[in-house]
Structure 1
């Protein structure tokens, strides 16, 4: 792997810069429709007048604010002096669930999201009963992607939770960029979410550690590659280890996100991570630094 990369021209540096200049966005939305895409995915379309100046980048993330009581409107958070979102005193905090922007049409105010369905949880309960015209609010956006001009080889590693983000990334990649998508433990039918690209390879694997048994051509040729990881926490730890220790990809060219944690609810994980952020910020850390987010996600 090439060394001596300018750290200011990397995915992590660009995401940090974007986060530092981006205000916390909140939006009141109404449901337009839901469409079953595959056995495991539903496409949710929302309409809002509150994102007129939003310019989406691939894999942008936000929190859907599910009301505690059916039909209730939710209070919106504001960013505190420490950079963390806070709810007004006395407000009931909604149930938060992270999702990925798939498309946004600013002219019509339409936000499209592909939701990975699983067996239980607040988001699944809401999705099962929601109807066109129902109200739901969101807060975001968190940058999850940037492609430096120098990058010609991209590697994406995802499970079902990261598949919508990977699809958005592939869709926006220039034709000259080679991209490999490793998909972990996903039915073949779900791969229809990934759009066509002239230099795309999709590789299904049964488990994260299976990726460690193969080395992409670009890595063997010691070309600079950019790696994006979005999956379950334990799998992300395995994959980041493969990428850094076996493939020797510099950390600045990697973005690793834990999208869920086996055996724990997202609410529990968010509460734990909030305390970690507070401690880190009190010690002088930058809340916008993706390295901090990565370390907190993976508890390193």
Structure 2
């Protein structure tokens, strides 16, 4: 997935209401030809036109990034995760959390109909986990559900996996893929704001730690929680930064435009620490 990205125009083929607050959208289109197989868990960009029934403008990608058609209204761009790609069926599936009309992705998904257009660019992204590690710790929330499912599905049968997931309420709890070494734990916030919750942090701190064994960590979700858990694992459990895929997908009560610069600052600092640790 290191090739230059490409933008594709796809259309809604199916809508599956997975929980009261999550919809899985299946997309189809001739432009899916050449989309890489085995990309579940990878990042993609969704391009939303100002009017959800219109096809969004699509960029061409050059050496210096996207080049947009002159005079065209630029779509709103959001980053999501490939939940499933079936090359034989020609279908790409994404999970979108519904949280009212205060976000373009949520608003689009809540009103989507079969046949609606959507732009997709990608996929891309770094390595998600260290498959050879004997122990895996997966931590997240509904926004990272597709990522965590993709990691579980790709781990060998002998891997030992602890998955800790937090949901806004019990109605958002979903099954995870079957795996012989999986121990899954769901926690409900019962309406508490995500940014104030310590359930996942406390669960990580309380869990028995496999000292002396290599642990690969996949961690994604609300920003304050991701940063706190990441720091606990590094400082109190001694997990090298290079063994953690930690991404603050979103920030409680912030929209993506406001959060964009802070997220990049957090990720840049994390990557710098990982490089320093590798060179130590």
- Secondary structure at the counterpart of residue 53 of structure 2: coil
Unpaired runs of 5+ residues, structure 1, are 1-17, 278-289
Residue 45 of structure 1, CA deviation: 0.6
- 1:264 corresponds to which of 254, 273, 278: 254
Residue 134 of structure 1, CA deviation: 1.4
Deviates more, 1:230-239 or 1:186-195: 186-195
Q: Are 1:62 and 2:54 matched, yes or no?
A: no
**Greater RCO structure (CA 8 Å; 6+ sep):** 1
Distance 1:146 1:80, change over 3 A: same
Aligned-partner Cα distance in 1 for 2:125–2:271: 17
TM-score normalised by structure 1 residue count: 0.78
Deviations 1:208-247 (A, max 9, x none): 43134324432xx220011011111111110111110111
For the 8 Å contact 1:159–1:183, the answer to whether it is kept is yes
For the 8 Å contact 1:157–1:181, the answer to whether it is kept is yes
Q: How many residues align?
A: 260
- Secondary structure at the counterpart of residue 148 of structure 2: helix
For the 8 Å contact 1:61–1:98, the answer to whether it is kept is yes
Partner of 1:187: 169
Q: Are 1:162 and 2:144 matched, yes or no?
A: yes
Aligned-partner Cα distance in 2 for 1:157–1:133: 35
Residue 144 of structure 1, CA deviation: 4.8
Partner of 1:99: 80
Partner of 1:213: 205
Deviations 1:281-300 (A, max 9, x none): xxxxxxxxx9638569xxxx
- 1:75 corresponds to which of 49, 57, 69: 57
Residue 56 of structure 1, CA deviation: 2.9
Partner of 1:49: 30
Residue 186 of structure 1, CA deviation: 4.2
Residue 60 of structure 1, CA deviation: 0.9
Distance 1:71 1:226, change over 3 A: same
Partner of 1:232: 222
- Secondary structure at the counterpart of residue 114 of structure 2: coil
Aligned-partner Cα distance in 2 for 1:70–1:185: 28
Distance 1:191 1:216, change over 3 A: farther
Deviations 1:86-129 (A, max 9, x none): 43443322112222111111122101122222123222221222
Q: Are 1:135 and 2:117 matched, yes or no?
A: yes
Q: Are 1:203 and 2:185 matched, yes or no?
A: yes
Distance 1:56 1:257, change over 3 A: same
Distance 1:147 1:70, change over 3 A: closer
Q: Are 1:150 and 2:142 matched, yes or no?
A: no
For the 8 Å contact 2:47–2:75, the answer to whether it is kept is yes
For the 8 Å contact 1:57–1:145, the answer to whether it is kept is no
Partner of 2:195: none
TM-score normalised by structure 2 residue count: 0.83
- Secondary structure at the counterpart of residue 10 of structure 2: strand
Partner of 2:158: 176
For the 8 Å contact 2:131–2:156, the answer to whether it is kept is no
